[in-house]
Chains A and B, each alone.
Chain A
């Protein structure tokens, strides 16, 4: 079985202060560290587990600049057979354009597959749509928010999709298909620096994205970046830990939840 998994290198913005520059045209990410997209980590693990139990091989694919080789090496260290980098110098905001390039790449290079895995969304743009658009273009069935894979056979899979409020739906889907994997589906294996270094010896093929632009156009215009709309905002507690701690206990007493 041939399993493809898309993996993306994204800025780790959780604890970073982000600045909008160039009159709202750009978000300055120059000082932000990059890492594997959290959701893709779960997707890589899900694909590798299936290859290990059902037999087959996983190929990791990343669309991004040369630095994205890092997430391919990481996937190989986790157990992927090889990696493809579809190299593009600038980030594309439009999920339609990204999915079209992915589609053209798979078709033009005749990449064989039985299933394609993606993360539900990437942490940076949160569009959560490239997998769905790609599946539609390929004419394949699609399921997103996959939190469980109960069976994976030659011609079909039984999966569970996460809905809201603790509800799931169990779905039967025919292969080949595209599955967007939700975080928490598994416990991704640990990869050591040593493992990633060893993965450099495995071949990663590089393809220029320019060859896959046919029909790829930006369908939505980014007008500008803005900071989040301000709500009321919190009344901030100041002082040393002792004062803040006592302040919080005071609030708890006032609200009647602590004596």
Chain B
């Protein structure tokens, strides 16, 4: 009897919310669900699966690709091969999935955001969400990483985990060892507290344009933030970053200028009360999430807004 193995993501003792997306997709796959989690992990995911396999290891060893492959080998040894192994589509989830796929020789589809049950095809983003590919894995056990927010509504209670198994004897691998968690430095301004964010992206063109946006933010009493490329290029400091690797924000108004809307950015701002997007590209994914949109040059509109605001 085949089953779906869900690899839990646990960080600093928290059962990450995106685990509900892997559990949701697991429900759609329609087979028995076994959750693989480190022994000390909180149990909130357990009601969504049929069985739990606890691994006697720290969360950081559990989420180390070198040790995870040994865990998976033991799972297969004890319980047979699963039909599918599901990971979160996160920093660690993709790292674990790709390494495991390489060792165990599994077909792998990452960043899956849709599943067509009748045709048994998985939807995966290409070209920053401008095109999607429908993929079908080959024969045997396959691995998938699941995009956060895509399947959580499908996570279904199974009446609690009926059985609990344990895996032990997993030692830290000296080839890669965890040292410590590091928190990013705090900025003077907390963008998560702002009612009105003026957020800029790659589309503004260059660092020289930032001063004009700072001026506009001052006139509108908005706080200036940015998307990943703007932070990577050091046009704005890291504490101003909106997105999965930066801050998740929910302001009353999110005015996005020159941001095309990579998924990691969308995940950090989609719950804002009102999203206004300005972008040259009418196909930019951000228009799918915005309440109001304008197709045009962000810098020209910025200058016009400044003129109007100055009266």
Contacts and interface: CB of A to CB of B under 8 A. Distances in A.
B308 A245 contact: yes
Contacts of B111: 126-128
A143 B304 contact: no
Contacts of B56: none
B180 A170 contact: yes
Interface in A164-216: 164-174, 177, 180, 183-184, 187
Contacts of B309: 249
Interface residues of B, number: 106
Interface in A10-42: 11, 13-18, 20, 27
Given A164-B90, A234-B290, A225 B221 contact: no
A123 B222 CA distance: 32
Given A143-B95, A168-B182, A248-B276, A126 B110 contact: yes
A220 B12 CA distance: 35
**Chain A interface main SS type:** mixed
A174 B282 CA distance: 47
A251 B253 CA distance: 9
B121 interface: yes
Contact of A132 (B60, B99, B130, B228): B99
B289 A231 contact: yes
B182 A167 contact: yes
Given A166-B183, A167-B11, A234-B287, A14 B128 contact: yes
B125 interface: yes
Given A220-B109, A237-B294, A255-B273, A165 B248 contact: yes
Interface string A126-146: 111111111111001111110
A80 to B, nearest CB: 22
A142 B99 CA distance: 8
A67 interface: no
Interface stretch (B34-42, B44-52, B157-165, B295-303): B295-303
A59 B291 CA distance: 48
B293 interface: yes
A99 interface: yes
Interface stretch (A50-58, A82-90, A109-117, A154-162): A154-162
Given A17-B283, A223-B121, A241-B296, A123 B304 contact: no
B232 A183 contact: yes
B247 interface: yes
A137 B128 CA distance: 28
Contact of A162 (B91, B173, B276): B91
A164 B148 CA distance: 12
11 contacts: A15-B280, A93-B133, A96-B107, A126-B111, A141-B175, A163-B90, A166-B238, A169-B180, A221-B138, A226-B133, A249-B308
Question: What 8 A-B pairs are tightest by C-beta distance, nearest first?
Answer: A136-B102, A132-B98, A234-B293, A184-B232, A129-B98, A219-B107, A133-B102, A257-B196
